[in-house]
């Protein structure tokens, strides 16, 4: 009912965008990294209430974590943190975890390119 961390980070260190063509959900996660930790995590989601809830939850779970810790956040963690999701909405937690991991991979790719 009260999503947190909605919006974009204009100078994000990494951005991950994923979607599910079956349901039409589209989710982008933006990360700002400082000292190998996710200092800020935001999202923009076009989708159902469950997609917005899982997007919000992934930002809460990931903020303050190291890159390595954030990569270990799974779809199960997202669903459990929301006290479960109906089986028909489980794909939403997949999207949230996938978007976070995509943002981290984008950050790592950009970091490698600077070397």
Query: Catalytic positions, please?
Result: 23, 92
Closest by CA position to 67, among listed 111, 37, 31: 37
Q: 55, 45 in Cβ contact below 8 A?
A: yes
Closest by CA position to 18, among listed 92, 81, 70: 92
Q: 62, 100 in Cβ contact below 8 A?
A: yes
Widest CA span of the chain, in angstroms?
45
- For 1-115, where are the alpha helices, taking DSSP H only? 49-62, 67-71, 75-81, 90-114
Cβ atoms < 10 Å from Cβ of 83 = 6
């Amino acid at each position: 009912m009260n999503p947190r961390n909605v919006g974009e980070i204009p100078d994000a260190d990494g951005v991950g965008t994923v979607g599910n063509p079956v349901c039409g959900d589209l989710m982008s996660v933006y990360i700002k990294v400082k000292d190998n930790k996710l200092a800020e995590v935001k999202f923009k989601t076009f989708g159902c209430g469950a997609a917005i809830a899982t997007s919000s939850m992934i930002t809460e779970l990931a903020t303050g974590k190291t890159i390595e810790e954030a990569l270990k956040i799974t779809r199960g963690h997202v669903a459990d943190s929301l006290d479960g999701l109906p089986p028909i909405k489980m794909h939403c937690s997949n999207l949230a975890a996938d978007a976070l991991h995509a943002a981290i991979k984008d950050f790592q790719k950009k970091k490698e390119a600077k070397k």
